[in-house]
C-alpha cells in the first residue's frame, strides 16, 4: 500500500536496519532502533499534554540527535514540529511562539531558562528529565493523520518583523524525498554530512534521506565550518560520501585552496543550494575531486519543500558562464509569468511560479500573507488550482533550462539565510526610535548596509550590541553610513532605488 | 601589533571584549563568517596569505595565538 505518513517510512527503515547507525552528532550516536525508542518516549509525553492531532510542537534544542528524535516524536504523536533557533535573541523566539501558539515546547536543562524568560503559558517537556522506563502506549496518533496534514512548520524572515511559519505537509515531503532518492541513487550506504541548520528547509533533504533510506546522518559540529581544514579531516575520519551544503562553505574551501593539501576521496555526491553558486569556485571543486563525482545545483524556496528545479552539472559546464538552476523536478511544474500574468516566451524574464504536490499548505495563522502568494493559477480558467509565486525573477533558455536572474522585492540570501531587509529595518527603527534609516545589500561585498539619518553619530558598537538583542546575528548590518539627510522621493519616502544604486555602484 | 589584532576583532564583533578573553572559540565569540572576515583583514593588512591548513582553533583562540600565527607568517613588529 502507498505510504501516507513520514512515520510509516521511518518504521519501514527501522525494521530493515534496526542496528545500523542512524545519527551521529558531536557527542553521541543512535542506531535506528534506539532512535525509534527515544522518539516514542517523546511522543508519549506530548500525547499526555495534548491528545489531539495537527497542533504545532516547538523544538528548542541545538542541532543534535535529540532534536531529530523530537521531530520524530512529534510526528508519532500526530502533530507537526517547529524547530526554533537557540541562537536567536529571546524577543524573536517570543514573537514566533506567540504567533505559533504550540501545544508544548521540547527543550533541555541547558535551554529551559530561555523559555522561562519568554514568560508564556506553554507546557514544557525537558528531555533531561524524560523517564526512560516510562510505558509506551503503541496506539500512536499518527495513524489518524492523512497525507495532507502538516509535518513541520519552518519560519522565514517576514517584512513586518514577525517571521512567517511555512506549513509543510507529509505529502510534500514524501513527493520530494522520493524524487531526491531516485535522482541521486540514495541507499542505506549513504553517509550524509549535514551542514545546514534544522531551521533551514535545506536540512529536510539530509534528515529524510536518513529516515526514508536508512542512510547515516552525521550532524557535523558547527565549529568544523569555522575551520575548514578540520571539516575536511572530519569527512575523511567518517568516510562521508554525500553533502548538501550552502555555496558559501564550498567557496570558502575553494578560496583557501584546501582540496590540494587535504584530499577527500570518499565524497561522491556534492549538492548545493540556498544561494547562487559561483561557477569559478565550482570549477575548483570539479578539478580537485574524482572525475565521477556528481554535482547538483538545487533551487527552491521553503514554500515548495526543498527543491523544485535542479541542474546536474554535465560536460557543458563552463567556468565563465553562470550555472542554470535547471529543469523542474518530477511532479513539479514551473511557469514563468510576465506582468500581465501570461506565460513568458523563451528568453523572456518573469516571475517564477510553482505548481505541484510540493506546495506548502500556507503560512501558519496568516491567511492574508498566504493568499498573497499562494494564488489561483492564472492560466487555468476551469478549476481551482494553486500556484506559489516565488518572487524570484527567472527565464527559460533555449535548452529548456531555467536561469535565475534575481528578486523582485527586498529579500536577499546570505550564506543560505533568507533575509527580508524589511524585517531588519522594522527592528532597527523600533530599537533606535530617533533615527530614520534604510537597509541595503551590497552585492559585491555580500554585506548588509545600514544608511541612517540622525543628528548624532551612533557608534558601530552601539548599533551592533543593541541590535544583537533583537536580531539574529546574520541579520545585523555590518556597515553603517550616516547621512545628514536621506534622499526622499516625491511621496516623502526614502528613495531606495537611488541609495541602492549608490551602494552597488550601478 | 596585538592592539591591531584587537581592533580587527572588535570591528567584526564590537559587542565582545577580546582583550579579556582567553578562548574566543569556546566562548562562542566568533563564528565561521567572522573567521573568514578576520583572515581577510589580516592578509590585507600584513600583505601575507595565511594558509588554509593554519586556520585551526588553536591559532584563533586568543590574541596571543593570533599574534604567534602572524609571527610564523613572517610578520614583524
DSSP letters of A162-191? Answer: SPEEEEEEHHHHHHHHHHHHHHTT--TT-E
SS3 B73: coil
Tell me the chain B residues in contact with residue A228 when contact means C-beta distances shorter than 8 Å.
Answer: 52, 55
Phi, psi of A124 (to 5 degrees): -120, 135
Cα Rg, chain A, nearest whole Å: 23
A45-94 pLDDT, tens digit each: 999 999 999 999 999 999 999 999 999 999 999 999 999 999 999 999 99
Cell 557527542 belongs to: A27
With CA atoms as reference, report the closest residue to A67 among A59, A58, A75. A59
Instruction: Report the C-alpha gap between A151 and A166 in whole angstroms.
Output: 11
Query: Three cell numbers at A360?
Result: 506548502
Flag whether residue A230 sits within 8 Å of chain B, measured between CB atoms.
yes
A223 touches chain B (CB under 8 A): yes
User: What does the pLDDT read at residue A132?
Assistant: 83
Chain A residues whose CB is inside 8 A of the B18 CB are none
Q: Is B56 on the interface with A (CB under 8 A)?
A: yes
* pLDDT tier at A202, thresholds 50, 70, 90: very high
Residue to mutate among B28, B33, B50, B51, with most A CBs inside 10 A, is: B33
Q: Which H, E and C letters describe A30-63, residue by residue?
A: EEHHHHHHHHHHHHHHHHHHCCCCCCEEEECCCC
Q: Would you call A460 and B52 a contact, using CB atoms and an 8 Å cutoff?
A: no
Comparing CA positions, the residue from A213, A242, A198 lying closest to residue A32 is A213
Render pLDDT for B31-70 as a digit per residue (tens, 0 to 9).
998 999 999 999 999 999 999 999 999 999 999 999 999 9
Residue range A166-193: average pLDDT? 98
- Spell out the long-range contacts of A312-318 with Cβ–Cβ below 8 A and sequence spacing 24 or more: A312/A183, A313/A282, A313/A286, A317/A279, A317/A282, A317/A283, A317/A286, A318/A279
What residues pair up with A152 in beta bridges, in sequence order? A81, A168
Task: Please provide residue A432's backbone torsions phi and psi, each rounded to the nearest 5 degrees.
Answer: -105, 85
Give strand pairing partners of A58. A82, A105
pLDDT of residue A445: 86
Cα–Cα distances (Å) from A76 to A50, A90, A172, A484, in that order, read 13, 29, 18, 58
Residues A450-460, mean pLDDT to the nearest whole number = 89
> How far apart are the C-alpha atoms of A266 and A331, rounded to whole Å?
32
From the list A81, A88, A85, A30, the residue with the least C-alpha distance to A62 is: A85
Instruction: Compute the distance between CA of residue A376 and CA of residue A369 in angstroms, rounded to an integer.
Output: 14
Does this complex have an ipTM over 0.90? Answer: yes
What span, in angstroms and rounded, lies between the C-alpha atoms of A83 and A71?
8
Residues of A in contact with B55 (CB under 8 A): 227-229, 256
CATH of domain A332-407: 2.30.38.10
Q: Are A156 and A63 spatial neighbours (Cβ–Cβ below 8 Å)?
A: no
Q: Is residue B27 helix, strand or coil?
A: coil
**Mean pLDDT computed over every residue of chain A:** 94
The three three-digit cell numbers of residue A455, written as one number: 543628528
How far off is chain B from A231, nearest CA to CA, in Å?
Answer: 10
Which residues form the domain of B46? 2-72
Report d(CA A151, CA A172) in Å as an integer. 9
* CATH number for the domain that contains residue B44: 1.10.1200.10
Closest to A213 (Cα-Cα) out of A235, A239, A185, A241? A185
Grid cell for residue A329: 523536478
Flag the least confident range among A210-219, A383-392, B21-30. Answer: B21-30
Q: How would you class A384 by CB atoms within 10 Å of its CB: exposed for 0-12, middle for 13-18, buried for 19 or more?
A: exposed
Quote the pLDDT of residue A485: 87
* Structural domains of chain B, count: 1
pLDDT greater than 90 at residue A293:
yes
Highest mean pLDDT among A151-165, A286-300, B31-45: A286-300
Q: Is residue B35 part of a domain?
A: yes
- Rounded Cα–Cα distance for residues A66 and A81 (Å): 13
Mean pLDDT of A281-292: 96
- Compute the average pLDDT of residues A175-196: 98
Q: Which residues of B touch A245 (CB under 8 A)?
A: none
Residues of chain A with CATH 3.30.300.30: 413-504
| Backbone dihedral region for residue A391 (phi beyond 0: left; psi -120 to 50: alpha; all else: beta) | left
Residue of B nearest to A480 (CA): B11
Nearest CA in chain B to A256: B52
- For chain A, give every residue range classified as CATH 2.30.38.10: 332-407
CA distance A391 to A445: 23
pLDDT in tens, A379-413: 999 999 999 999 999 999 999 999 999 888 888 98
Residue A131 pLDDT grade (very low, low, confident, very high; cuts 50, 70, 90): confident
With a cut of 90, say whether residue A338 has pLDDT above it.
yes
Which pTM value belongs to this model? 0.93
Return the C-alpha cell found at A40: 516514542
Which of A377, A333, A371 has the alpha carbon at shortest distance from A355? A333
**Contact residues, chain A, for B33 at CB < 8 Å:** 415, 474
Cβ contacts of residue A15 below 8 Å, gap of 6+?
A: none
Q: What is the DSSP string of A326-373?
A: BEEPTTEEEEEE-TTS-BPPTT--EEEEEEETT---EETT-HHHHHHH
Does the residue B77 lie in any domain? no
Q: Identify the band that residue B14 occupies on the pLDDT scale cut at 50, 70 and 90.
A: confident
- Cβ neighbours of residue A128 under 8 Å, at least 6 residues apart? A108, A109
User: What pLDDT is stored for residue A461 in this prediction?
Assistant: 87
| Pick from A298, A286, A301: nearest CA to A373 | A301
- Quote the minimal CA–CA distance from A221 to chain B in Å: 12
Among A53, A81, A233, A237, which Cα is nearest to A152's?
A: A81
- Is the pLDDT confidence value at A426 over 90? no
Q: What is the CATH number of domain A413-504?
A: 3.30.300.30
What is the percentage of chain A residues whose pLDDT exceeds 70?
A: 100
A94 touches A75 (CB < 8 A): no
Distance from CA of A126 to the nearest CA of B (A): 24
Cβ contact A223–B36 (<8 Å)? no
Amino acid at each position: 500500500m502507498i505510504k501516507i505518513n513520514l512515520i510509516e517510512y521511518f518504521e519501514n527503515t527501522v525494521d530493515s536496519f534496526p542496528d545500523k547507525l542512524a545519527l551521529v552528532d558531536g557527542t553521541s550516536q543512535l542506531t535506528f532502533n534506539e532512535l525509534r525508542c527515544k522518539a516514542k518516549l517523546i511522543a508519549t509525553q506530548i500525547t499526555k499534554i495534548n491528545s489531539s492531532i495537527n497542533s504545532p510542537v516547538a523544538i528548542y534544542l541545538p542541532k543534535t540527535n535529540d532534536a531529530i528524535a523530537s521531530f520524530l516524536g512529534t510526528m508519532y504523536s500526530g502533530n507537526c514540529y517547529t524547530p526554533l533557533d537557540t541562537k536567536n535573541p529571546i524577543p524573536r523566539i517570543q514573537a514566533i511562539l506567540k504567533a505559533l501558539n504550540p501545544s508544548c515546547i521540547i527543550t533541555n536543562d541547558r535551554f529551559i531558562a530561555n523559555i522561562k524568560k519568554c514568560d508564556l503559558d506553554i507546557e514544557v517537556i525537558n528531555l533531561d528529565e524524560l523517564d526512560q522506563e516510562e510505558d509506551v502506549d503503541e496506539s500512536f496518533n499518527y495513524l489518524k493523520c492523512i497525507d495532507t496534514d502538516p509535518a513541520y512548520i519552518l519560519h522565514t524572515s517576514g517584512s513586518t518583523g514577525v517571521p512567517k511559519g511555512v506549513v509543510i505537509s507529509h505529502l510534500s515531503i514524501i513527493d520530494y524525498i522520493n524524487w531526491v532518492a531516485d535522482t541521486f541513487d540514495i541507499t542505506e550506504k549513504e553517509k550524509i554530512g549535514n551542514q545546514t541548520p534544522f531551521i533551514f528547509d535545506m536540512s529536510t533533504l539530509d534528515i529524510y534521506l536518513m529516515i526514508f533510506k536508512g542512510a547515516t546522518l552525521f550532524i557535523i559540529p558547527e565549529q568544523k565550518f569555522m575551520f575548514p581544514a578540520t571539516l575536511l579531516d572530519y569527512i575523511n575520519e567518517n568516510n562521508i560520501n554525500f553533502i548538501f551544503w550552502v555555496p558559501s562553505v564550498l567557496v570558502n574551501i575553494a578560496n583557501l585552496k584546501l582540496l590540494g593539501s587535504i584530499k577527500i576521496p570518499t565524497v561522491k555526491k556534492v549538492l548545493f543550494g540556498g544561494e547562487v553558486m559561483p561557477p569559478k569556485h565550482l570549477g575548483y571543486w570539479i578539478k580537485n575531486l574524482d572525475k565521477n563525482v556528481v554535482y547538483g545545483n538545487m533551487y527552491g524556496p521553503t514554500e515548495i519543500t526543498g527543491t523544485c528545479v535542479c541542474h546536474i552539472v554535465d560536460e557543458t559546464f563552463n567556468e565563465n558562464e553562470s550555472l542554470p538552476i535547471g529543469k523542474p523536478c518530477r511532479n513539479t511544474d514551473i511557469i514563468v509569468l510576465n506582468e500581465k500574468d501570461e506565460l513568458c516566451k523563451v528568453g523572456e524574464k518573469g516571475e517564477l511560479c510553482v505548481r505541484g504536490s510540493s506546495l506548502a499548505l500556507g503560512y501558519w495563522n496568516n491567511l492574508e500573507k498566504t493568499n498573497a502568494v499562494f494564488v489561483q493559477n492564472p492560466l487555468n480558467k476551469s478549476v481551482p488550482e494553486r500556484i506559489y509565486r516565488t518572487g524570484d525573477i527567472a527565464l527559460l533558455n533555449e535548452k529548456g533550462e531555467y536561469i535565475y536572474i534575481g528578486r523582485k522585492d527586498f529579500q536577499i540570501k546570505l550564506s543560505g539565510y533568507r533575509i527580508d531587509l524589511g524585517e531588519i529595518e522594522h527592528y532597527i527603527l523600533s530599537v533606535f526610535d530617533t533615527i530614520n534609516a534604510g537597509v541595503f545589500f551590497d552585492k559585491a561585498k555580500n554585506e548588509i548596509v545600514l544608511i541612517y539619518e540622525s543628528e548624532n553619530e551612533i557608534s558601530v558598537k552601539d548599533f551592533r550590541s543593541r541590535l544583537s538583542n533583537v536580531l539574529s546575528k546574520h541579520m545585523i548590518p555590518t556597515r553603517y553610513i550616516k547621512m545628514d539627510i536621506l534622499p526622499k522621493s516625491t511621496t516623502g519616502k526614502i528613495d531606495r532605488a537611488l541609495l541602492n544604486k549608490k551602494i552597488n555602484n550601478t | 601589533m596585538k592592539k591591531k589584532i584587537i581592533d580587527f576583532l572588535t570591528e567584526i564583533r564590537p559587542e565582545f571584549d577580546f582583550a579579556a578573553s582567553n578562548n574566543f572559540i569556546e566562548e562562542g565569540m566568533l563564528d565561521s563568517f567572522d573567521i573568514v572576515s578576520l583572515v581577510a583583514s589580516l592578509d590585507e593588512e600584513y600583505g601575507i596569505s595565511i594558509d588554509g591548513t593554519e586556520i585551526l582553533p588553536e591559532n584563533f583562540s586568543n590574541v596571543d595565538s593570533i599574534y604567534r600565527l602572524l609571527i610564523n607568517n613572517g610578520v614583524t613588529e
